[in-house]
Each structure stands twice: as structure tokens, then as C-alpha cells.
Structure 1
Amino acid sequence: MTLSKTHLIGLKADQFRHPLDQEATQALKQLPGLDLLVRNLLGSLAEQVLYLNNIASSVLVGENQLPHLYHLLQDACRVLDVEPPQLYVQQNPVPNAYTFAMRGKQPFIVLHTSLIEMLTPEEIQAVIAHELGHLKCEHGVYLTLANLLVLASGLLPTWGTVVAQSLQERMLAWLRCAEFSCDRAALLATQNPRVVMSVLMKLAGGSPSLAPQLNLDAFIAQAKAYDAISESELGQLLKAAQTAQLTHPVPVLRAREIDRWASSQNYQGLLEKPTLGYNGEAKSKVTGKWRNW
């Protein structure tokens, strides 16, 4: 199918960054030495370990290796105006995708095979664009620390548990806020809120066999029902308790946020700005060939 898409030449992260992400990032910047700790002490080691793991155990996507995924990556990068990172596919039964990026280093994205098998091509591109959102918003340093803390939970000595738990709670809170910005990047790249919400629906209750049977309109109605719970103080408290230890906001909440932002002046204004097309001529829309994510 052919869709008309706006290429967001000169797009800045703060033009789509979620307010909660902005607030949480500023709070982390107030912690003395945190940025320096991750980049200088943890970043180099983590980068080497993950890079070796990908080279040894994953498939690097390129023009001659899974080219359909390579083209989805390139197209998303053009729309979001970001330099393409490396993209790897890794055999894993748990549907997931993640990004690693330290400042000044080679960033990369990893997609699990089980996630790819569950999604359409357009939806895969939304996942890729979500991960590109981490790069665009320069989440790399804090994202690395959040991932390391999650991996290290339960392995820390007793004397460090209280301090580590406090830091982990703050990092998880930041990560949940950052995910909202990345969902917006996915929407900007696909320019179809139903595609992004469909991914969230499949992450909540999908599988290769169930995915085609899921009803997106019913899931959107479910998301609105969840949103309505916040109208009571008890509902707000229950939601906070439910998400306190999660790395991501619950899927229905993310879907509701995308549904809201898709109709906002902020989103519509970004798409209406003139951009540069494939042929170098100024235009507001660029036509390209797209399949389903």
C-alpha cells in the first residue's frame, strides 16, 4: 500500500518530548556525578559486553541481510531525521526490543525474533522508531543505568540494598516517563496512531496465532476505561502501586496517551511543517511504498 508521509527535517527532541520525560530527566540531572559514573565507569564495559554478544549471537541487518528490515530502519530514520544505528535480530522467545547508546559511541537496536513474528511490517517499523526515539532524545546514559540496575537486582549485597533500591525506583520512574516520548517518536515515524496502538495491544495479549484475531477498537475502548479509573483517588493509588516496579507504563495507558497526542495541536503542527522530499524539492508530504509493521 502507498502512504503519504511527512519527513521531519530538522526535528528536535524537545518538539515531541513528553512533559513527564522532561520533568523526570531534569530530576536525574540533579543527582551529582550520575551521568559521569555511567559514561566513564559503566558505559565502556557495558558497551563491550553487549557489542560482543550481538556480534557473536545475533544477525546484523543490512542491505544484503534481511533487507526488508533494513529498509524499514532507513525510512524511519529519514522521517525522524536521525542517523541510522546498527540493527540486530536476536533469537529469543520473549517479545522485546532494546537500544544501547553511549554518547559518542556506535548505537544499536536489537529486535527479538518472537516480536518480529507477531507484528506486521508497519508495526515492526513502529517498534524500530520507538527505539530511535531513545537515540533522538539522548536517553542513552540513563537508559544504560536503568537496564543495569534491573539486571543487577537481587545480586546486590545487603549493605547496598537500600541505596540501590532507592536509585532503582528513581530510574524506573524515569524510564516509564521516557517511554512516552519514544511512543510519540513511533507515531511520528508511522503517522498512524492505530499502528502504534496495535503494537501495544499485541504486546499486552498477542502471539503469532492470536495477533490477527485481536480487535483494536475494543482495545482502544479498554484503554479509555482504564483512563477513567483515575477519576477517583483510590483508582489513582491503585494505578501507582501497579506500576511502581515496572520498566514500562502499562500498555493501555500508553495507548491512551498516543490516542490523545495524535489529536493534539503539537502533533498536527509537526506534520504540517514543510520538509525536504526524496528529490530535494520542498514539499509537505513525501510518498513512499510501505507495507504493514
Structure 2
Amino acid sequence: MNLVRTAMLLAFLTALFMAVGYLIGGSGGMMIAFVMAAAMNLFSYWNADKMVLRMHHAVEVDERTAPEFYGIVAALAKRAGLPMPKVYLIQNPQPNAFATGRNPQNAAVAATTGLLERLTHEEVAGVMAHELAHVQNRDTLTMTITATLAGAISMLGNFAFFFGGNRDNNNPLGFIGILVAMIVAPLAAMMVQMAISRTREYAADRRGAEICDNPMWLASALNKIARSAKQIVNPDAERNPATAHMFIINPLSGQRMDNLFSTHPDTANRIAALQAMAAEIGGQPAASTQFNESPSERPGTGPWDHGASSASGPWGVNAGKPKGPWS
């Protein structure tokens, strides 16, 4: 159902793009704008992963520099039947994570140091399983295509603002057509882009729960991340809000509603869906006992900070073998 909905939304974006191009300058204007937008977004398609990782100052790690975290990702990737992605850490106190890459063979997953410090071993596994689900579902490719079409529509809206008045002879709706191209179409494109992003989050939650074999690990993690994100500012995300939809929880301040303009579903709705999934498979929601704990009350509760003096990772990531049914 999610796949069908995403396909329908992408088809709507394509139709909207073609319609706006025709309203502005007929077939000639539409083709010129399309070529320019395609050129810009083609560059983004091949380089978006590197650009996003650089924006957030991500550092690549391996089994030597971050053995436990790397081991979790490796075990989950094997369980999901995926190639081993590149693994990155971001020195940022806000717990969060994202995946990027145009396909599973060129994928990367990144987590903040705040995620490793504030979440338990099982919760981190749930989060990384969610990100690997995005990779497996090729959501990063879907969002790239969506961004391309939405960007092209916005570009046509700007084109209409500057040149629409000189092309009324090609515009069957006259001034009304120009207004549609300038205001309504870009707004509709943004709403569709947000809807696709939210649809893919629900799908990744479910698949991620299947990969890690326990929906409640992810449910507990989402609760902790959401509450911490409200308290801890992510400066890199605030400077680059266009990347917000990539994170497992919106890293920006002020977006807490599950509405048309939100890049993420409401966290409570996501947790409820995972709890229902756990009930379906007969799982015990033991992790829900942690839902009332404040993140600030449990510093260093993950397996990454045992008080050991011989930290082997770049930010105190200790060695250890991943535990759980997926190891």
C-alpha cells in the first residue's frame, strides 16, 4: 500500500510539473525548465550522499575505530541481506541517525554520538535497523526523485514570477495561470514531498522492526530521540534544514505536529504502530518501561560508556560484541 501511494504521489508531481510548464510558456518553456532542473538535480543524485555527510561533519569509522557500533550495523546488514554500508559517526549531543546513498551498493548510515551515549544497545540496534530498512527500500532514491520534481516545480514558479507576464500568449489561463504556477503549484509540490517522506518513515519502522526482530526496541528509541530532540539543538541541521527529512526524528526545533507540513509522522503514532506490531507477533513490550525516563536522567546508559578508561573509538566508543538475536 505504501509503495502504491508513493507511486501515485510521484505521478501527481510529474503531472503537476508538466501542467505548470505548459501554463507558463507552452511546450518550449516547459522543456527548457525541465532540462535546467534535471541538470542541477543530476549532480545532486550522484553527490548527495557526500554533500549531506559533509554538511553534518560525519566521520567514517570501521571495526577498529568503533568496533561495537560497526559490529551492530554489520550484524543487522547481514540479517537484512544487504551489502555492508559505510558507517559514520557525527559528534553531536542530539541523538539521531540517517541513511543516504543512491542504492544499497553505495549506501551509508550515520549516527550521532548522542545516540550512542543516550540509548541502550538494543535501542541503537532498532534505530540502525530502521536506517537499513530505508536503504533496502531504496527510499533515498525515491526522495532524490521527489526532490528533483519538487525542485523543478519551484523553479518553474520562479520562472513565472519573472517572465510569466511576457508569455500570456502561451498561457491558456492568463494571469490566473501565472498565480497557479507561482504559488499553488510549489505549495502542492512541497506537500506531496512531505507526504512521501512520512509514508516512507512508517514503512521503514515496520521493516526495521522485522530486521532487528523486536519492534519495542525501535519504539523505545523513538521516544527517547523525540524528547531529546526537543531539548538539544542540532546546529548543523538548523543550518541545513533541507536534510531534516533524512533523520529518523526531525532534528529541527518547532515541528511537533503530524500535519501537512511536517517531514515526519507524529512520534506517538509511530510508537503505537510498533506496539501493535509487537502484539501481532506476540512480543513483550519490555522496552516500554523506559518511556517515562528523561534522557538527561540516564547519561551514558548505552553500551558505549561503561566507565572504561581504554576507549577505542574516536569519541569513547568501547569495544564489544553486539548482542541479541541478530548477532
TM-score band (shorter)?
Answer: 0.5 to 0.7
Partner of 1:250: 266
Q: Which residue of 2 aligns with 1:260?
A: 276
Q: Match of 1:124, as an amino acid? A: V
1:51 partner letter? K
1:61/1:69 contact within 8 Å kept: no
Q: Distance in 1 between matches of 2:40 and 2:264?
A: 26
Measure how far apart 1:147 and its partner are.
Answer: 6.7
Does the aligned pair in 2 maintain the 1:201–1:251 contact within 8 Å?
yes
SS at the partner of 1:25? helix
**Who is 1:141 aligned against?**
141
Give, in whole Å, the separation in 2 of the partners of 1:24 and 1:89: 33
Counterpart among 9, 16, 21 of residue 28 in structure 1 = 9
Q: Give me the whole-angstrom Cα distance separating, in 1, the residues matched to 2:104 and 2:206.
A: 24
1:54 corresponds to which residue?
A: 53
| CA deviation map 1:147-185 (0-9, x unaligned) | 789999x99859445322211101111111111111112
CA contact (8 A) 2:73 2:128 kept: yes
**Aligned 1:164-175 pairs, distance under 5 A:** 164-175=186-197
TM-score under structure 2 length normalisation: 0.56
Corresponding residue to 2:205 among 183, 189, 213:
183
The separation in 2 between residues aligned to 1:42 and 1:119, in whole angstroms, is: 36
* TM-score (normalizing by structure 1): 0.62
Q: 1:94 Cα shift?
A: 3.7
Helix, strand or coil for the counterpart of 1:110? strand
The corresponding residue for 1:99 is 99
One-letter amino acid of the counterpart of residue 8, structure 2:
A
For the pair shown, the structure with the greater C-alpha radius of gyration is: 2
- 2:219 maps to amino acid: M
Distance 1:29 1:109, change over 3 A: same
Which letter does structure 1 place at the counterpart of 2:266? V
Which digits, 9 at most, give the CA deviation of each residue in 1:9-60, with x for residues without a partner? xxxxxxxxxx3x22321213424488x9998752533542541563693221
Q: 1:44 aligns to what?
A: 43
CA distance 1:75–1:143, shift in 2 (3 Å): same
For residue 30 of structure 1, give the secondary structure of its aligned residue in structure 2: helix
1:169 and 1:198, CA in 2 relative to 1: closer, same or farther beyond 3 A? same
1:118-133 matches, within 5 Å, as 118-133=118-133
Q: CA deviation at 1:257?
A: 0.7
Pick closer, same or farther for the CA change 1:245–1:93 going to 2, 3 Å.
farther
SS in 2 for 1:102: coil
Deviations 1:167-220 (A, max 9, x none): 11011111111111111122112212221110121023248x9xxxxxxxxxxx
Map of 1:228-243 to 2, 5 A cutoff?
Answer: 242-243=258-259
The verdict on how the C-alpha distance between 1:251 and 1:43 changes in structure 2, with shifts beyond 3 A counting, is farther
Give structure 1 stretches of 5+ with no counterpart.
1-18, 210-240, 268-287
Q: Alignment partner of 2:106: what SS?
A: coil
How far apart, in 2, do the equivalents of 1:191 and 1:39 lie? 40
Superposition CA RMSD, Å:
3.9
Question: Partners in 1 of 2:127 and 2:217 — Cα distance?
Answer: 10
Number of aligned pairs?
Answer: 219
For the residue of structure 2 that corresponds to 1:244, the secondary structure is coil
Aligned residues of 1:149 and 1:168 also touching (Cα < 8 A)? no
